[in-house]
Every structure is written in structure tokens, then in C-alpha cells.
Structure 1
Amino acid sequence: MKQLLLIVSLLFSTLAWSAPKSELWPYWKQSNEANPTQVSHQDWQQFLDSYLVKQSQHTLVHYQAVSTEDKAKLEQYIKLLEQVNPLDYSKAEQYAYWVNLYNAVTVDLILNAYPIKSITKLGGLFSFGPWGDDVVVVNGKSLTLNDIEHRILRPIWQDPRTHYAVNCASLGCPNLQSEAFTSDNTEILLEQAATEYINSNKGVLIENNKLQLSSIYEWFAVDFGTEKQLIQHLDQYRTKPVTNTNKISYDYDWSLNQVD
């Protein structure tokens, strides 16, 4: 009986997760380009400085080492962002705001459940991860991580590099950047993140005349265009051109991006 329940649970969990479509939430497509002020992400930067560790192709989070004080500071940072009205700011400032909020909330969710082997273990019994759960309230509106990524970031900016900016706390994911996003450094960080990922084995692996890509390029193929356009995108950042495209396989490692 237990084995049957486990099989049913795994089946429902798998079916419950599929790559969400990019569907604009029109309310958030407003900005004030005349406002030159910036949102402070200093607290998030301090967290990154304290707990990010570079290991080979991965940038890992030292979840186990996070102090009670720094956990409280992270929660306070998220609460402060909830009190910001992003629509009062420029689009460039909004992009940094949403990316940092997404990443900070993701780390906080892991810390709340730590120790845990994978973010996919979070959420309800039949959920595959926490992406559909309400996690923050901005302008009186409850938001999920899916809302931030697929109803705000993707449809408004329509930049495939967003997939390299938001982090899902997994080894297969593009690295959490060591710098908090700002309106000043966003372009630099997006280019850096894309270059890192596409030149890593978790992004693009060419081995034994076979091409294996991250599942991101399969899940969100609509953002990268045709196969030809995808290869052009990859070659834009690769130190060596992508070859052996006759048959492409996809893979993704959902293991937690933790320091062992």
C-alpha cells in the first residue's frame, strides 16, 4: 500500500510541474522613467558576500552556515521589498527589483526547510516545488515565484537571458550571481551569467560526439526561438562553437546548490 501511495505521489508531482507559459499580468507593465532613484539591495549583497561559495562550475550557498541574525536580516530585506511600489520606478530598476526578490525568496524558502535535498521537495503533497505558492505581497497583490518569472519578467522584458538571472536553488540551474542586480549592472550580470552557464557542462555538454543541453532550452524553447536560433544564441557565448546538433538530449540536476 505504501509503495502504491509513493508511486501515485510521484506521478502527481511530475504531472503537477510543467514549464509555465509566458503570460503577461498587465497591471505590472507600468513604470516611471522619470524617477532616477534606486531601490537598495545592500542587505541582499551582504548575504551573498557572506554565504556564496565558488566551486568549479557551481556557485553554491552555504545554507548550513547562515546565522539566525543573517536569516532575520534576509527576511527583513524581503519585507522591505514588499513595501516598495515597483511601478514608481524605471523599468531598469524594476528588473533588478524582481530578480533580487525572486532569488532572495528562493534562498529564504530553502533556509526555512533546511536541511533538504532538493527544492522540488517543497510545496504541497502533490506539488513539484514551491513555485505556485504565494510567497510575497506587493502592492496588495499576492505573488508566487511563477508570477514573478512568467507573468512579469518574461513577458515584459522578453529577454531569454532572464533564465540565467533567476535561480532555482539547484545544481542544474544557472549560478546565483555574486552581485545583487542593480539598474546599473544588469546588462553586465546578464552577459556574465549567460557566458558562465553556456560554457559549463550543466548548460552545454559535448561528449562522445553527442550534444546534451540543459532542460531549460527544452522547457522554454519558445524564448530561444528555432533550433537554429538557439544554436546561434549558444555560439554567441561559447568559446567553442556548438557542434553535433543532429540529435540533442536534455538533462537537469535538481540537487540542492549547497556547500557540502
Structure 2
Amino acid sequence: MRVFLSVLMLVLISAFAPVGAYAAPKADLWPDWQAHDPDSMQKIDHSGWQAVLDRFVAQPEPGVTTFDYKAALDDRANGIEAVAGYVGKMVTVPVSDLNRNQQLAYWINLYNALTVKVVLDHYPVASIRDIDISPGLFSLGLFSSGPWDKKLITVEGRTLSLNDIEHRILRPIWIDPRIHYAVNCASVGCPALAPEAYDADLLDDQLDQAARDFINHPRAIHSDGDGGFVISSLYDWYREDFGERDAQLVAHLLTYAGPELTRQLDSIGRFDVSDDVYDWSLNDDRP
């Protein structure tokens, strides 16, 4: 009876606690993935992923992109099969033999392609969080529902989930907040799915552009009309990556802010956040 009540309590907490009450996964390095060859000249071909992006990604407004999932299912050869083919090719890459830039581009592109593949495999859905395939019936947390903890691929003999790629590899190895603007969670509130595959030779420029595109869109930060700001929940979930103090977060935002946002941030005496928001609706071209 006591066990049953404990389980029931977990279910009730999971069902009714607000999403924002939970922190996102912490960066937790898996040391094996630090292996790399700084002298490697090997280049990974991401043209298969670029062909998918060229065909199915649209940009309805600056800083926002959508993906036409239905078209990618209807045009199977160029859509879902092309995505699966690219992912299948990437999992055969000996990642530890690559240099750091090649690895970073590899993991970001693979993460984004794998996310698109998961959505296509379960489409139609209103939100990626409806794809509830993560293990652990009573697991709690922001990402306890959705696909993020499901082991989806095997690379160099190790099974990986989307969370593994982001939080065990990308974040702790590169320690670069711009990664949050590059990996896409197939949601309206998320930084946009880049219309260009990440290229090891262009990474700094591409990551800077991804940061500018998101930060200067209202879903990242906008005035609440009363002297404060409404910010993306991204900055709450991963606050340690952007700077734990308000001044550090503001400095990060100002690094990529355009003239209007710069004016707003420079004109305040104190950075007052009145709310954080996130739209989990699918980034669908045909919502």
C-alpha cells in the first residue's frame, strides 16, 4: 500500500506541477567523447542534410524557420528517406578521428537531422512533446515527456539519445552558449532550424548568426510594457550557460543584440524579468 501511494504521488506531481518548475538536464561530460585528432584533415560531407534543408525549410520572417513535414513524407525519396539516409551515414563516421571543428559540426547537424527524423516518424503531432517515447514511466522533469531520452542511434559502439548528444557531449566539451541557438527542438519557441548545414570551416560565423537571429526576435526577449522583460525559458533552464548573474546574461544578449534591443537593454537601470515563456508548438510549415 505504501509503495502504491508513493507511485501515485509521483504521478500526481508529474501531471500537475508546472513545466517551468523543473530544470533542464545539467551538462554532464562523458569523457570518452573527448577523444579527437587535432591534426586530422578529414572532412565530413553534410550535403545530404543540406539537400533536405534546401527543399523543406522555409523562412517566414527574420529569425524564424519552419519545416514542411507533410511534404517530406509525401516526397519520401527527398524527404524522410533522405533524412534517414543522412543519419544512417553519420552513425558510421569514426568521430574520435576528427578534429574539434569537424566534430562540432557533425554533432550539431546530426542532432538536428535526428530531431527531424523523430518528428517525421510520428507525424502528425502538434508538439514534439507529444512524441512520448522516453523511457521511465514515472520520471520527472521538463524533458520527461518527449523523445529526448530515447536511445535512437549507435555511434562508435555507444547508444545515444538526443539528450546524450546535447548534454553529455556538446555542452560540456565546447562550453559555448551559442550551441543552444544551433540545436533545434522542432518547436516555435526554439531557436530556428538553420537553413544551412553547419560547416566546420564556417562555425564561428554560423553560430554568431544563429545567436543574432534568435536574440533579436521577440520570442527570445521583449519588453513587458512595464519596465521589465519577458524572456525565453531557454535562459531560465540553462541560466548557468549564459551567466548566473543578471549582468552576465545582459552582456551575452548585448553581444548579439541589434540597435533596438541594445537601446532597450542600455536604458534600464536594473534587469527585471517579469516572466519566461516557451512555445512548444511544432515548427510546422502547415500547423
2 CA distance for matches of 1:247 and 1:53? 32
Q: What displacement does 1:205 show?
A: 1.0
2 CA distance for matches of 1:72 and 1:13? 37
Q: How many residue pairs were aligned?
A: 255
What's the counterpart of residue 213 of structure 2? 196
Q: What displacement does 1:103 show?
A: 0.2
1:49 correspondence with 2:67: no
CA contact (8 A) 1:78 1:101 kept: yes
CA contact (8 A) 2:224 2:274 kept: no
Q: What displacement does 1:259 show?
A: 0.7
1 CA distance for matches of 2:252 and 2:20? 30
Q: What displacement does 1:258 show?
A: 0.5
Q: Which runs of 5+ in 2 are unaligned?
A: 1-7, 139-143
Map 1:4-153 → 2, pairs under 5 A: 8=12, 10-11=15-16, 18-56=23-61, 57-66=63-72, 67-70=75-78, 71-124=80-133, 127-153=144-170
3-state SS, counterpart of residue 59 of structure 2? strand
**AA at the equivalent of 2:97:** D
Q: What displacement does 1:185 show?
A: 1.4
3-state SS, counterpart of residue 69 of structure 1? coil
Q: Which runs of 5+ in 1 are unaligned?
A: none
2 CA distance for matches of 1:55 and 1:214? 20
2 CA distance for matches of 1:247 and 1:80? 44
**AA at the equivalent of 2:253:** L
What's the counterpart of residue 223 of structure 1? 241
Q: What displacement does 1:128 show?
A: 1.3
The C-alpha deviation readout for 1:50-85, integer Å capped at 9, x for no partner, is: 000111242000111111112112101101110001
Q: What displacement does 1:17 show?
A: 6.4
Structure whose alpha-carbon radius of gyration is higher: 2
Q: What displacement does 1:31 show?
A: 0.6
What's the counterpart of residue 156 of structure 1? 173
1:253 correspondence with 2:279: yes
The C-alpha deviation readout for 1:179-198, integer Å capped at 9, x for no partner, is: 10111111111000000100
2 CA distance for matches of 1:16 and 1:139? 36
The C-alpha deviation readout for 1:82-106, integer Å capped at 9, x for no partner, is: 0001110000000000000000000
**AA at the equivalent of 2:285:** V
2 CA distance for matches of 1:246 and 1:26? 38
Change beyond 3 A, Cα 1:247–1:166: closer
1:236 correspondence with 2:255: yes
CA RMSD of aligned residues (A): 2.0
3-state SS, counterpart of residue 281 of structure 2? coil
TM-score (norm 2): 0.84
Moved more, 121-130 or 131-140: 121-130
The C-alpha deviation readout for 1:88-134, integer Å capped at 9, x for no partner, is: 00000000000000000000000011110000111246641111100
Change beyond 3 A, Cα 1:194–1:99: same
CA contact (8 A) 1:120 1:254 kept: yes
CA contact (8 A) 1:123 1:133 kept: no
